[in-house]
Amino acid sequence: MSISVKTRNVSKRPFPLESLLPQVPRNNYLHFQEEKQRLQLKKFLLDRMFLVAKTRANIEKRDITEYYEQVFQSISRRHLEEAVTGLLLIYPTSILHILESSSGTLHHILLDYLNHKKGETEFFIEGIKIIVVSHNIPTRIFLQWHVSVIKVPVMYLDDVTQSQSLEEVITEFLTQTHKLALCLFKTVKVGSKGPGDNLHQVAADLLLPQQIIQYLYESEEFMDPEMFLNMYYKPMHVTLDSEVVWPAPSQF
């Protein structure tokens, strides 16, 4: 007697290995940055802007400080917790201004300047040039907004603007301003008024001569606020010529 045995057909396809492994959620780089900002409790990205400006001669410190304080207060009513920190150095006919805040706050400061320039014939700031804008900086280097009048003459061996290129002058400009900012960060306590007009006693060797400020202001390589804001508001999407021809190009 023969006994027939039926065998089951077993599939030879390999068992998927992925089902045996634990599923790990995968995020993209955008999610990583958003989570990083959330953990750091940042409500906005922090920017730093370096400005140089030409002013009327013999301008009073009170006029400049009152103007900027009013601008900061007006912006803070709409943009809470976006405080402005930085340094304003007032020279006889020019100023050096470093501002730290959100990009929206910095743009409102530039817009306020343009509105005053168009509406007032004797505005104390005759022109502004934007030297550098640093986006998404990790932390502030100024604890508050400081103002100092540079009246004490400082002796310099030579005028570097006559012997150095623009790149070298910018390098020295950024190097000296960062050293000055770090010096103030280490010496000025939180809540104090800062060095005031005695900055030459705190860091005399770190003060930039006025000719460097004037040289950067007169350089055509830097944008004024109007050009900067026009570029900022310009749409990122640009229609190419190939997108408007007819018939539309076929893709292979």
| Domain positions in the chain | 43-233
Task: For residue 65, give the nearest of 195, 185, 196 by alpha carbon.
Answer: 196
Average pLDDT for the chain? 78
Tokens of 250: 């076929």
> Which listed CATH number (3.40.50.300, 3.40.350.10, 3.40.50.620, 3.30.70.100) goes with 43-233?
3.30.70.100
| Torsion over CA: 37, 40, 43, 47 (sign) | negative
Question: Per DSSP, which regions of the chain are E strands?
Answer: 47-55, 85-90, 94-101, 125-134, 145-149
CA distance 91 to 8: 94
The pLDDT tens digits for 115-159 are 988 877 678 899 999 999 998 888 888 888 999 998 755 545 456
CA distance 83 to 76: 7
Q: Say what the pTM is.
A: 0.74
CA distance 128 to 113: 9
Q: What's the mean pLDDT in 105-123?
A: 87
CA distance 95 to 131: 13
Residues 6+ apart with CB under 8 A from 120: none
pLDDT band of 204, cuts 50, 70, 90? confident
Please, what's the b/e burial string for 129-154 (b: 16 or more CB within 10 A of its CB; e: otherwise)?
A: bbbebeeeeeebbbebbbbbbbeeee
Residue 252 has pLDDT above 60, yes or no: no
Residues 6+ apart with CB under 8 A from 237: none
